[in-house]
Amino acid sequence: MSKPSVDIGRVGIWYGGIDALATPDARRAAQLVEELGFGALWIAEAVGRDPFVSAAVLLSATETLPLATGIANIYARDPMTMAAGQKTLAEAFPNRFLLGMGVSHGHLVAGVRKHDYSKPYSYMIEYLERMEKALFMARGPESDPGLVLAALGPKMLELAATKANGAHPYFTTPEHTAIARETMGADALLAPEQMVVLETDPVEARRIARAGMKIYLGLPNYFNNLVRLGFTEDDRADGGSDRLVDAIVAWGTDDQIAERVAQHHDAGADHVCVQVLQDGHDLPEQQFRRLADVLLT
């Protein structure tokens, strides 16, 4: 399938920590991302705010900034509800909402939500078919806004290219971006996430990086992908080897961060959404400004 109609530019901000901000501050964060010129703001869904409600709040606070979900959990709502949320936002904010959705993880689906997580890939196939056929008897958007899937492995990447409009890989590397582009072909959108730490001291940078990586290293979906990329259990031990930390998290000078983002683009990414890792939950305004200076020029 072709890329989605929403233009999210070459570089965006992935900001899962926005849920830690009071709503007025979250609105200001979105306004800052728009003011700085980033192509999109990506928000997550786990056990925090509803991503569709948050999207409406943040889109209302801005004028031109596209918002993308990275990702909306397909087990959190049925296909008709997902399609209705997508179409409602796409009609209200033309060409500014991109639905990213995925199967999430077993501990959130089976553990927290008490759903069956035995066949997530098969469930995604069925879910997409039901979304396509879902009734929506309201004023909709003028054109199909499209959607992207959280995808890492070859089967989900292929599904993202053939039954959706692209993929949003998370917690991965430029090497994976090259694999994803080869798997999906040229037509689908490829929008990987890239963690960054704006710190040049290796010890401090890796400390912050390991804190940000900790939860993901314990999740099978992510670690299985790392194994496909050549990492081992030894790399996962003690919070991650230096080799693994440096592969997943870009740290160093602003120019070194920019080089990692460029590596994704060179490997076939259409858009890279950058996630700032830091201590605490304050809005990383200065980091966003530094990134804009080096990534958007």
pLDDT, tens digit, 9 for 90 and up, residues 238-283: 999 999 999 999 999 999 999 999 999 999 999 999 999 999 999 9
- Whole-angstrom distance, CA of residue 108 vs CA of residue 131: 22
| 67: containing domain | 11-197+254-295
Q: What is the mean pLDDT of the chain?
A: 97
- The number of distinct structural domains making up the chain is 1
| CB atoms inside a 10 Å sphere around CB 154 | 14
Question: What tokens were used for 223?
Answer: 């670690």
Residue 238 lies in a domain: no
**pLDDT single digits (tens) 218-239:** 999 999 999 999 999 999 999 9
The CATH number that applies at residue 152 is 3.20.20.30
**Half-sphere exposure (CA, 13 Å, Cβ side) for 231?**
26
Question: What tokens were used for 296?
Answer: 């958007």
Q: What is the structure's pLDDT at 44?
A: 98
- Whole-angstrom distance, CA of residue 135 vs CA of residue 50: 22
**pLDDT single digits (tens) 155-194:** 999 999 999 999 999 999 999 999 999 999 999 999 999 9
Residue 273 lies in a domain: yes
In contact, 288 and 196? CB cutoff 8 Å: no
Residue 234 lies in a domain: no
Angle at 26 between CA 292 and CA 291, to 5 degrees: 10
